[in-house]
Structure 1
Amino acid sequence: MEDRVDVYLKDQAIIPCLYTLKEPAMMIVWFTKLPGKDQSRIRIYYYDNQTEIIDEGSNYAGRIQVSHSHDAQSGVGSAVLTIDTVELSDQREFICMVHNVSEDGGEGHTRLQVFNSPSLPVIELLTHTGIYVTEEEPSKVAKCKVDDGYPRPNITWYKDRFPLQPSVGEIDIKETVTVKTSGLVAVESQLFMKVIREDEDAIFYCEVQYFVPGASKMSESNEINITVFYPTTEVTLSMNTPERLIKEGDTVEIQCEGNGKPQPIFTFTFKQEEKEVEENGILILGNVTRSNSGTYECRSLDFDTGSEFEDSINITVHYLDHIVVTPEETVLDQMQDLTLTCNALSSLPTYTTWYKDGWSKVEEGHVLELHNASHPKTSGKYTCEVMVPSLPELREQKSVQISVRGKPKIEVTSTNNADHSVNLTCYAQGYPIPNITWTISDRWTGKPVPVLNVETQSTDTGVFSMISVKATSALTATCRADNEIGTDNDSLRIDAIARVTTTTQAISPKATGFTNTPKQPQRGGSGVAIAVIIICLLLIAILGSVLYFLYKKGRLPCGRSGKQDFTKEKASKDDIVMEMKSGKSEEAVLLQGVNGDKKSPTE
């Protein structure tokens, strides 16, 4: 028989018993025996040629069976004991006894070993606040627990992959072994050690070794870090600011840190005045000014050791004052010279640039010289910009208006609208700022037209004026600008948009681009047309009478060519009379002057 058979808990155990006989054994008996010298055998199985008995009084009734075999040629027989659902109580000695025909017998022994793999080890910190390096005795660090193992598992502690062994005054390991009612074993191990500052970054874990059938295994717990407390021996001040120089308006954070743990209590002073700090040792300076420049001191106090340490840091807050431009708003005469200066006090070197009208660069440096002033070339807004090259965020601007006396210069433009009106815009430059007046006259009647809804807007160098005119007649609009230096004016012709009573839309011969919906003839316009026609007829009649009188007196040459010319002219007059008799209205006659080849009487 084998000396030992290993089996997992709850598995099936197979214990072979081999014997050598020329014939099958006459009797086979299996016994069990608990460990110990005083323990007696207990029969669990009996077999002979006529009988097979499994003892009911044992713990194996219903859990075991024995199979028999014999090879006559080799003379080797076997009786194999099989145990189902192995329990921890099955860990004992099993004895196989064999008898032959002459009732001689022999026996063999096998020890059954039962195994159960434990749970994974669980590690837990014993001190959650922290461990002081100043403790004289080893402090509680952590505990490691493993459960339901068999045989008893072993626990080993590790620090940074190196096993820890008990050491007097430095490391102590205490274990507690608990055997449960099931027979399984739980082991708890506690680690005590005297920590040093370097242990703050160390990794601690425990390892469990246990046996399995035919081998041994191990498993590791999670890794943990411990919190180590140690006294402060040095204090350092630092600034949490952008990676640039500090300027007015910034927020500055001053951090005071000690090299100990936990951090001691910090006190900040500036110009011998104590400053309020945050709990984490940070002094916050918001919206700093140049008055915040200076030396800041931090002092620490360790209540456990009574030690004090301090450090200091110097802060410089850079600034750029508002710009002063001299002279300010200035009025020049023609051909006059002017020198402008731009200055701003700063804690750092500055760079100055002059611009005209916001975008045109005219000079570099804090002095700008203007020679031979003229309008409008010299007039405008001059802007001085001062910046700090080493701190571009520091930048200031200031503008001054320079005016040059000069008479107005105007420009009139027009814009057609969809509602048959025209927007007229007049822009006048000059200084003093000119006054603008509009006059509008009707070219057909020669009468002035009222100017309504004048919009005026002044600028630094002139004035805009805009009016809107209904293009219902042929008009001339004149813009006049004047100041104490002189006067300028400009005119713009506006052609009328014809209106007819039929559904056909009338279009001005001048390219105004407007169309108009038909309207009924206005009474005033018809009366004027009738009067003009009557006057024309009277003039023709008078002219005919004079020519006839001269002809009778013989003072008018009566050549053939002259007669033909007179006849031709008379025919043209008759044409007019015929057009009037053809049924055209007075307005239709007028339209010949507006839309056709003929002109109106006023033109």
Structure 2
Amino acid sequence: MACRRDTCLLLILLSFATYYVRARVDISMDETVSVYSGDPARLHCQYSFSEEPRMMMVQWFVKYLDGSRQRISYRDLTMEKVDEGTDFTDRITVAGSNNSETLTIHSARLADEREFFCQVNGMAAGNGERKTHIMVFDPPEGPIIEGVPSGISVGHLSKVASCEARKGYPKPNITWYRDETPLIPTNGEINVVTLVTREASGYYTVQSDLQYKVSKEDKDTLFSCKVSYFVPGGVRTAPSPAVNITVHYPTTTIELWREVPKGLVKEGDTVELRCQGDGNPPPPFTFNREQQPEVELESSNAELVLREVTRRDSGVYQCRTLDLDTEEDVVGNMRLTVHYLDPAVVVPKDTEVMSKGESLTATCNALSSLNTSTVWLKDDIEIGRGHTLYLDDATFDTAGEYFCKVSVPSVPGLQTTGSVHIVVQGAPEMKDGVTDVDMEERSGKWVNLTCEARGYPRPIIGWSIDGTQNWREVVNRVTEDTVQSVVTVKVSSDTTAACNATNDMGVETKMHSIKSISMVTPPAKFQAEGSGIIIVIIITCILLLAILGSVIYFLYKKGKLPCGRSGKQEITNVYSTTDKPSKEDIVVEMKAENKTEESVLLKGVNGGDKKPTNDQVTTRVNTMKAL
């Protein structure tokens, strides 16, 4: 009986197994889902049954780090719910449709990075599950780089910089660069020390230190780092700023140069010499001259100042320092040449006396360290170039001060001057070249006569004046070879004035002949300007005389003015005091070369050429007496 039961049970089990083999469910899910921290994560679960299930339920599970699983959502044909008391209770939603289920996790967190299971159970129709791994990403902050502030000596593996990337997930990586070239760790040359810190929040902070064996060439090198980090679907990088490091290396060569002046050096200049080595930090420097190495010259801050240099300051100057590694002197050299120009030497010296018509050769030279150029000047006007000046056929115009200016064209400001005074001797000669002067002047006028003569020795001027005694000298001016005399002469008759210029070499005479002109009528200018005024005066006088005559006549007719023998006697007495009366005793007469308006008016008043009657004479005499 037992055997039969076992047989029956086996048959039942086989029948069930055969059924379940035929009934199955297919589930499809993504292996991974990548999401930024804070963004929603969506997990899709699609399924299909080989037979239509009579009953079906879908459950979502999450797997923890310890391997345990917890259900977070449940749904069947009649109900749908989110499990209470889980880490996802308030952050998930489930949406289902035919043969599909979507789990949405809102505001994904780093802790959400784990496996999620979708389990589908169709009972007799089959059951199964699939899983999806959620990956959460959060980029780190920008890299922070710091170079070592102190100097780094060459030849040693030393830390040169540090780089830090903070709060990134997953863990970021740091790569070092030297002038855009990635640095690969090399034994004894390059080493990278990395420190990774996992914070309680799950973020990573990565700090990387670069150890580098610097050389002198690294003094201008720029170091930088780049942080690479994962993001959904790829990898990104963030570069840091570049930093420069201070490299310490010994001085092996020294450069010495002249800073001031920029051009050639001349005597009197201030010279500045500067010294610079190729070491870092700059070592202390000392200066000396090659011919006196034991004498240290006073300097400051790698600078030597030489004030008001002379030609004796020419020579080789040295700047030196001590190489601490080899304990040997490192020296820089520079030759300083101070150019000079000695005072000009002029031949002949000082003053040279020449005779008129002679020739002279003058030279001007100055000793110099460079080629010179010479210019001759007289009265600030250039008269020649070159060291030699030729003066031919000397005249009094040749006399004067001659200057030579010697300069060095290649050195502005380097010049010297010399001079020679030329004196030309000879008999006097009138400076204006005129020996006879004829002139006409009005009698009674004072006239200035000028006589200016030149000669060497300086002449003496004497005057001999005939025709007038009224003269005097008003100007007597002398220079080295010239004398000027001015006399003022009153012309009263024809006058002859002789100016005699005399020196040891001879005499020169200048004659002034003055013809005296007698002036009877006023000059035409005076007539033209004064005629109007004279006419007005004459007319006014005539009117006054006419009025006065009318008054006297009126009084006479009225008997107010007695007129008889007494009156005639008065006239007789008047006439007796003079000779025969004439027109000039009564009438004012203006003479002129031409017949003018004044003469016409006067004739009209005097009645032309007719003789006056007795009554007219009486009236006029009485009028004159009244006046």
Q: TM-score range by the shorter chain?
A: 0.5 to 0.7
Question: What is the identity, as a one-letter code, of the residue corresponding to 1:51?
Answer: M
Displacement of 1:402: 3.1
Task: Please give the per-residue CA displacement for 1:523-566, whole angstroms capped at 9, x wherever unaligned.
Answer: xxxxxxxxxxxxxxxxxxxxxx9xxxxxxxxxxxxxxxxxxxxx
- Residue range with higher mean Cα deviation, 243-252 or 223-232: 243-252
| Cross-structure match for 2:202 | 183
CA change 1:459–1:123 in 2 (3 A) is farther
Q: Aligned to 1:358, which of 358, 368, 380?
A: 380
Question: What is the identity, as a one-letter code, of the residue corresponding to 1:194?
Answer: K
CA change 1:113–1:507 in 2 (3 A) is farther
CA change 1:220–1:2 in 2 (3 A) is same
Task: Please give the per-residue CA displacement for 1:149-195, whole angstroms capped at 9, x wherever unaligned.
Answer: 11010111122444333344333221222233432221111111222
Task: Please give the per-residue CA displacement for 1:243-292, whole angstroms capped at 9, x wherever unaligned.
Answer: 6432223343333333332232221113523112232x232323322121
Question: What is the identity, as a one-letter code, of the residue corresponding to 2:339?
Answer: H
Partner SS state of residue 291, structure 1: helix
Q: Aligned to 1:56, which of 68, 84, 100?
A: 84
Match status 1:397 vs 2:417: yes
The question of whether the paired residues in 1 share the 8 Å contact of 2:376 and 2:389 is answered with yes
Q: Aligned to 2:308, which of 287, 295, 313?
A: 287
- Residue range with higher mean Cα deviation, 150-159 or 291-300: 291-300
Q: Aligned to 2:110, which of 71, 88, 94?
A: 88
**Structure 2 counterparts to residues 115-264 of structure 1, below 5 A:** 115-126=137-148, 128-135=149-156, 138-240=157-259, 244-264=263-283
| Cross-structure match for 1:421 | none
Task: Please give the per-residue CA displacement for 1:407-459, whole angstroms capped at 9, x wherever unaligned.
Answer: 442499xxxxxxxxxxx9x996845789999xxxxxxxx998998xx9x9999
Partner SS state of residue 188, structure 2: coil
Question: What is the identity, as a one-letter code, of the residue corresponding to 1:79?
Answer: E
| Cross-structure match for 2:59 | 29
Displacement of 1:109: 0.5
Partner Cα separation in structure 1 for residue 62 and residue 296 of structure 2? 87
Displacement of 1:12: 1.6
Task: Please give the per-residue CA displacement for 1:8-58, whole angstroms capped at 9, x wherever unaligned.
Answer: 1111211111111366873221111123xx331122212223322122322
Partner Cα separation in structure 1 for residue 258 and residue 311 of structure 2? 17
**Structure 2 counterparts to residues 479-518 of structure 1, below 5 A:** none
Partner Cα separation in structure 2 for residue 388 and residue 88 of structure 1? 87
Partner Cα separation in structure 2 for residue 123 and residue 435 of structure 1? 102
Partner Cα separation in structure 2 for residue 383 and residue 151 of structure 1? 94
- When the two chains are superposed, the root-mean-square deviation of aligned CA atoms in Å is 4.7
Partner Cα separation in structure 1 for residue 229 and residue 423 of structure 2? 101
The question of whether the paired residues in 2 share the 8 Å contact of 1:276 and 1:283 is answered with yes
Structure 2 residue runs without a partner (length 5+): 1-28, 435-447, 463-468, 487-496, 515-523, 535-581, 583-590, 606-627
Question: What is the identity, as a one-letter code, of the residue corresponding to 2:349?
Answer: P
Partner Cα separation in structure 1 for residue 481 and residue 200 of structure 2? 106
CA change 1:188–1:293 in 2 (3 A) is same
Partner SS state of residue 345, structure 1: coil
Partner Cα separation in structure 2 for residue 157 and residue 105 of structure 1? 54
Displacement of 1:143: 0.5
Structure 1 residue runs without a partner (length 5+): 71-76, 413-423, 438-445, 467-477, 493-505, 521-544, 546-569, 585-603
CA change 1:571–1:102 in 2 (3 A) is closer
| Cross-structure match for 1:14 | 42
| Cross-structure match for 2:362 | 340
Partner Cα separation in structure 2 for residue 490 and residue 224 of structure 1? 102
Question: What is the identity, as a one-letter code, of the residue corresponding to 2:197?
Answer: T
Partner SS state of residue 188, structure 1: strand
Q: Which has the larger radius of gyration?
A: 2
Q: TM-score, normalised by structure 2?
A: 0.65
Partner Cα separation in structure 2 for residue 23 and residue 399 of structure 1? 135
The question of whether the paired residues in 1 share the 8 Å contact of 2:452 and 2:482 is answered with yes
The question of whether the paired residues in 2 share the 8 Å contact of 1:148 and 1:186 is answered with yes
Number of residue equivalences: 476
Displacement of 1:331: 4.8
Displacement of 1:213: 0.6
CA change 1:223–1:429 in 2 (3 A) is farther
Partner SS state of residue 396, structure 1: strand
Partner Cα separation in structure 1 for residue 48 and residue 71 of structure 2? 23
| Cross-structure match for 2:344 | 323
The question of whether the paired residues in 1 share the 8 Å contact of 2:288 and 2:318 is answered with yes
